[in-house]
Amino acid sequence: MVSEYPQRRYGRWKECGIVCGLLVVGLAVALAVVLVLKNKELEEKFAPPCASGDENIDIREQDSPSVFSDLTTAELRAVVDYLYQQSDLNVVKSSDASLNTSYIYFVELNVANKTAVLNHLDNQADAPERRAKVVIFRGDLDVPRIEEYEVGPLPNPTFHTIIYRNGKDSVPFTYRPITLKEFEGIVKYVFVGEIEQKGRRILLESFDASFSDCGIKCLTFYPTPVSTSNYGKLTRNMWFWINHDVKYYALHPLDFKVLVNLDGADPSKFKITKVWYNQQLFNSMDDLVSAYENNKVEKIVMKFPQVDESTFSTLNQRGEPFPSKPLRSPIQVEPDGKRYTIKGQHVEYMGWAFEYRMSTNTGPMLFDVRYRGERIAYEISLQEIVVFYSANNPSHRFADFVDSVALIGSLSKALIPGADCPDHSTFLPSRHVLEASSEPVVYENSLCLFEQATGVPLRRHHSYGKHAGWFYGGMMDDVLILRTVLTVANYDYIFDFIFHQNGAIEVKAISTGYILPSVFSPLEKKYGFQIHDNILGNVHHHMFNFKVDVDILGTSNRFETLDLKVEAAPNQMYSELSSAQTYNQIYFQSNPRHTEKVAGYKFNFDQPKYLLFNNEQFKTKHGVPRSYRVVINGMSKQTLPENSGHENSITWSRYQMAVTKYKDTEKQSSSLYAIWDAVQPVNRFQSFIDDDESIMDQDLVAWITMGVHHIPHTEDLPVTPTPGGQLQFFLLPYNYFTEDPSSGSKNAIYMELKYASDNSAPTVDINRYGYGGEPQCVPQKSKFDQQVAEDPDLVFSTGRTFG
């Protein structure tokens, strides 16, 4: 379609003299006719298709990947092949794996230590060799365990060395993340085995459905790992709550749950230790069955729901339709094509440069973030997503999810143009080796990168009046956004890294997706509202932790707060009133933080503060430290008592921001094991702080926590909408530049009223710096729907699935 439009090149106008001049006149007449006729179709036909800018975009796997680039498919394959050949590891292919074998849980890049990387980036030293990090489940050993290895050098590995965790060469098998092999065992021995064998009658009578031979009336389940803090010892237990298997199962819970002990590597020994049926607790299926058969239990009946397109738990369009006419949403146009470039995983835009990657374990990461050539941050990365629920019933009470356990970086499977990201986005892949497949899995649309007109002024002033002068200057806050959306079972978490044109970086975390309701019961009322016939939305707390390894003008940094205080300044000279002998006003004091223990920031409304990072050696010509300022707009208080229960696994949540000295041994605030490990954390963030090292003139890392309490309401049906739930923090230049760097933008507009000396009428001087007034172009039609029709895997890939 687009190719039928006349193709004209506007750049040639200047060169073509009289001929073009005549053409211009002709065209102007033609355009006038068009305007008069208001013939929109004709108007469009004169606009050329928008430039694609594709020549700036190279997202292919690079032959020599950078130090930060995710492992290429060839490197992933090489690591897996190498591991298969190591007899000491005894690794079997995923197709042959079961819980009692040795198998690969995942493989990803192990980013080299910072000193070596900086030597390479800043001092032209050779790039440190690329190495992989591998997590292997050793179910084959007499005492099963988890081993982590570094494997290198890539692309042709020759060694594997143990990564020590907390001084130990392995991690207890109890702490293994939720694994497919285990789920297969649970389905076979627990659900189809014990529950169905002993309780099929109960399932059919109470819930009108079953696990096997179920036709269209099937049951499914959702897991709640129970923290070891509940037992005070290393033991692995999960509550499973049962749902009707309809769209969407999380909104169709049944009042039937089992607690299963999952110790050891033999699924046939998994044991049900508690059964919850219609608000009543039993110690085994046998107890429930005998009570049921002797009518010693209060029975419940929940019919299998008839689900159609209008059912509350589906995402079909329904309800009052709008808009009443078929009017499409606005879209954005890039009249001159892409204004950013991508090479491999390296991005540049308007003075910004950074590398991105997608860690299988922890999700999106940025490295070597620079503005105008100067590094602002060595790393900005998501560390952990947490959601802690409360309830009367045990499956939701113990639902304290610490999501990196689910390998969240592998859970952005397909971003949809036109809904998740604008149509004009560049979609970026992620690559993983996961337990479900020995072959690397590539998700083509895991991240998206796009330039976005926010529609908000970045800056402006309008001066009107004789004394102030008549002028206007302003520009739009157009930004580059790197986005990913991690779907962790029911919830979807949107993460944006946003680059503004004034040297500011913004990081956003937004939750959407399905809530996890309980079956309504009066005892749940203090934990939520009844939001539909059978369900109550339990209160929960979402928290996100980010690592921000700031490097302000080098790695020798200080952290100071500017503390706002109130003074009673002498006022006798200005007032004779006895009640006005002092004048109260605020002032600020610099408060440099010397050690890690005094750097933990816990928001206090009574003590307002600015949070600044700077380098003592670099000051403005007026002696002011050139700084970057952290602003956190998404704070929420973690109110659980310190060291109680599961809190011990998420000690980073005690601070809205903590500042520690960089260490190669403190690369992450959380770990793959944090959902289980409260009794003996594998990586306890608080210990980074407890040694209370000096943070004066050191390489500093800020750990930022944002969060939101969520008391679900009816409008969380069918899924939680994003407005009001956007959490964000910023890194803002603060006395860093001599003025706002956006002053250099030629996308600004400046106007001035000019008076002639002869009292004739004033004229307006409009300056668009040569970048305005160009003709419009027609955006190219998205090919996405057609691509999905041809290749459903683009959206519904059959890689690892959860639950």
Ligand X SMILES: *[C@@H]1O[C@H](CO)[C@@H](O)[C@H](O)[C@H]1NC(C)=O
What's the closest the beta carbon of residue 44 comes to ligand X, in angstroms?
58
Site string for Cu ion, 468-507 (x = CB under 5 A): ----------------------------------------
Comparing CB distances to Cu ion, the nearer of 441 and 650 is 650
> Interface with ligand X includes 98 (CB under 6 A)?
yes
Between 267 and 733, whose beta carbon lies closer to ligand X?
Answer: 267
- Which of 100, 280, 512, 735 binds ligand X (CB under 6 A)? It is 100
H-run or E-run covering 566: strand 558-570
Candidate list 403, 478, 699, 716, residue with the active-site label = 403
Minimal CB distance residue for ligand X: 664
User: Which one of ligand X, Cu ion, none interacts with residue 205, CB within 5 to 8 A by kind?
Assistant: none
User: Is 434 exposed, middle or buried (CB count within 10 Å of its CB: 0-12, 13-18, 19+)?
Assistant: buried
Task: Determine, following the binding rule CB under 6 A, whether residue 169 of this chain makes contact with ligand X.
Answer: no
Question: Which partner in ligand X, Cu ion, none is near 113 (CB below 5 to 8 A by kind)?
Answer: ligand X
Closer by beta carbon to Cu ion, 483 or else 710: 710
Rounded to whole angstroms, what are the CA distances from 103 to 149, 434, 438, 442, 672? 13, 10, 10, 20, 17
**Residue 627 token pair:** 């700084």
Find, among 702, 494, 724, 523, the residue nearest to 600 by Cα.
702
| C-alpha–C-alpha distance, residues 781 and 430, integer Å | 25
664 binds ligand X (CB under 6 A): yes
Q: Evaluate the CA torsion angle 579, 581, 583, 587 in order and state its sign.
A: negative
335, HSE (Cβ side, Cα atoms, 13 Å): 13
Which amino acid, 693?
E
- For ligand X, give the closer residue by CB, 57 or 92: 92
- Distance of alpha carbon 111 from alpha carbon 129, whole angstroms: 10
CB of 802 to ligand X, least distance (A): 21
Residues 238-267 as x/- pattern, contact with ligand X by CB under 6 A: -----------------------------x
Q: Which is nearer to Cu ion, 432 or 710 (CB)?
A: 710
Minimum distance of ligand X from residue 150's CB (angstroms):
8
Total residues at interface with ligand X (CB under 6 A): 6
Q: Is 113 a binder of ligand X (CB under 6 A)?
A: yes
- Closest approach, Cβ 139 to ligand X, in A, equals 8
Minimal distance, residue 188 CB to ligand X, in Å: 9
Is 686 a binding residue for ligand X by CB under 6 A? The answer is no
Closest by CA to 677, choosing from 275, 301, 352, 234, is 234
Of 131, 138, 236, 710, the one binding Cu ion (CB under 5 A) is 710
Rounded alpha-carbon distances, angstroms, from residue 122 to 86, 118, 129, 536, 692: 37, 5, 16, 56, 30
Asked whether 471 and 753 are in contact (CB, 8 A), the reply is yes
Distances (CA, A) of 612 to 563, 592, 598, 728, 752: 11, 9, 14, 17, 38
Cα-Cα-Cα-Cα dihedral sign, residues 227, 230, 234, 238: negative
Cis omega (within 30 of 0) for bond into 48: no
Q: Which stretch binds Cu ion (CB under 5 A): 7-15, 360-368, 449-457, 707-715?
A: 707-715
CA 58 to chain centre: 24
**CB-nearer residue toward Cu ion: 160 or 710:** 710
Task: Provide the CA 41 distance to its chain's centre, in angstroms.
Answer: 42
- For the bound state, the minimum distance from the C-beta of residue 83 to ligand X, rounded and expressed in Å, comes to 19
Residue 710 near which of Cu ion, ligand X, none (CB within 5-8 Å, type-dependent)? Cu ion
Amino acid at 40: K
Using CB under 5 A as the binding criterion, the count of chain residues that bind Cu ion stands at: 1
What angle (nearest 5°) sits at the alpha carbon of residue 516, between those of residues 514 and 519?
130
Handedness of CA 282, 287, 289, 293 (dihedral sign): negative
CB of 100 to ligand X, least distance (A): 4
Considering the complex, state which of residue 131 and residue 542 has its C-beta at the smaller distance from Cu ion: 542
From the list 106, 123, 393, 165, the residue with the least C-alpha distance to 276 is 393
**How near is the Cβ of 720 to Cu ion at its closest, in Å?**
6
Beta carbon of residue 726, minimum distance to Cu ion (angstroms, whole number): 13
Q: Which does 98 bind (CB under 5 to 8 A by kind): Cu ion, ligand X, none?
A: ligand X
Considering the candidates 443, 491, 610, 673, report the single residue annotated as catalytic.
491
Among ligand X, Cu ion, none, partner that 513 touches (CB below 5 to 8 angstroms by kind): none
Is 491 annotated as catalytic?
yes
| 403 catalytic per annotation | yes
Q: How far is the CB of 141 from Cu ion (least distance, A)?
A: 40
Tell me which of ligand X, Cu ion, none is bound by residue 235, counting a contact when its beta carbon lies within the kind-specific cut-off of 5 to 8 angstroms: none
541 binds Cu ion (CB under 5 A): no
Which of 61, 184 has the CB closer to ligand X?
Answer: 184
| Tokens (6 digits) for 119 | 């030597």
Which of Cu ion, ligand X, none is residue 317 near (CB under 5 to 8 Å by kind)?
none
Q: Please, what's the b/e burial string for 384-400 (b: 16 or more CB within 10 A of its CB; e: otherwise)? A: bbbbbbbbbbbbbbbbb
Interface residue with ligand X among 158, 324, 665, 759 (CB under 6 A) is 665
Candidates 445-453, 676-684, 695-703, 708-716; binding stretch for Cu ion (CB under 5 A): 708-716
Separation between Cα atoms, residue 5 and residue 47, nearest integer Å: 7
Nearer to Cu ion, 558 or 710 (CB): 710
Q: Are 274 and 282 in contact (CB under 8 A)?
A: yes
Using CA atoms, how far apart are residues 313 and 316, in angstroms rounded to an integer?
9
Q: Would you say 98 or 556 has its CB closer to ligand X?
A: 98
> Which residues, in sequence order, are bridge partners of residue 765?
752
> Which residues here bind Cu ion, judged by CB under 5 A?
710
> Which residues here bind ligand X, judged by CB under 6 A?
98, 100, 113, 267, 664-665
Catalogue the active-site residues: 403, 491
